[in-house]
């Protein structure tokens, strides 16, 4: 199996009918359910960019050309419980703080990409999702889900394996629009910093290769 950490921030406004103050601070399952109830029926689009990351432990010949496999993937976090066999996944159930509520996540499109063969379609099947509260004061959650890619995909020397792919992310619940705006500003600052670090790493790679 493969895990792709995503820079995916879900900033959700809490509906007034479920105020945070009613959640028992020592009940992780209750707190987790607050987020899960807000996610259900949420649809979003992920832009997956699969390729080599400098200065990591990737195999030396994997994506050595610098090619990328990029495709949009639309998903929906459904209110339906996931199939029983999916509840055994250690990523979702290996931590007691994840609680016992796991639901199905469904792909909404058939993503495509362009290769030397022309346009190719990536087969994606349903998976499961769950969450874990990590900070009660700031309402920060870990969001984890997986989807199955039974046929995988290959573009040049970049290969998406034919297996279960895991997505790891974070999200927050906010009652105040001003808090949400500050979070967006922090996200923009973080993205700028990541771009600057990436440029510095490229400069270092070029300097070391001389």
Q: How far apart are CA 115 and CA 46, in angstroms?
A: 20
- Higher pLDDT residue, 177 or 106? 106
pLDDT band at 154 (very low <50, low <70, confident <90, very high): very high
13 pLDDT more than 50? no
pTM greater than the 0.75 cutoff: no
State the pLDDT at residue 146.
93
State the pLDDT at residue 108.
95
Pairing state between β 112-115 and 103-107: unpaired
State the pLDDT at residue 101.
78
Give per-residue pLDDT as tens, 47-70: 898 888 888 788 888 888 888 999
Using the Cα atoms of residue 179, residue 184, residue 187 and residue 188 in order, give the sign of their dihedral: negative
Residue-by-residue DSSP string for 59-103: -TTTTTT--EEEEEEEEEEEEEEPPGGGGG-HHHHSSGGG-S--E
């Amino acid at each position: 199996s493969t895990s792709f950490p995503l820079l995916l921030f879900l900033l959700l406004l809490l509906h007034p009918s479920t105020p945070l103050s009613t959640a028992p601070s020592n009940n992780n399952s209750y707190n987790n359910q607050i987020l899960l109830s807000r996610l259900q029926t949420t649809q979003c689009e992920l832009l997956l960019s699969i390729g080599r990351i400098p200065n990591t432990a990737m195999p030396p010949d994997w994506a050595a050309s610098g090619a990328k496999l990029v495709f949009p993937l639309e998903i929906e976090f459904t209110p339906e419980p996931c199939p029983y066999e999916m509840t055994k996944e250690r990523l979702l159930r290996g931590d007691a703080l994840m609680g016992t509520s796991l639901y199905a996540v469904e792909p909404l499109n058939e993503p495509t990409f362009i290769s030397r063969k022309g346009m190719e379609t990536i087969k994606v099947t349903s998976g499961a999702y769950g969450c874990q509260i990590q900070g009660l004061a700031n309402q920060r959650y870990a969001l984890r889900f997986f989807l199955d890619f039974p046929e995988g995909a290959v573009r040049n020397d970049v290969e998406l394996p034919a297996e279960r792919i895991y997505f790891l992310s974070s999200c927050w619940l906010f009652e105040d629009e001003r808090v949400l705006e500050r979070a967006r500003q922090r996200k923009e600052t973080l993205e700028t910093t990541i771009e600057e670090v990436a440029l510095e790493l490229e400069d270092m790679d070029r300097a070391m290769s001389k």
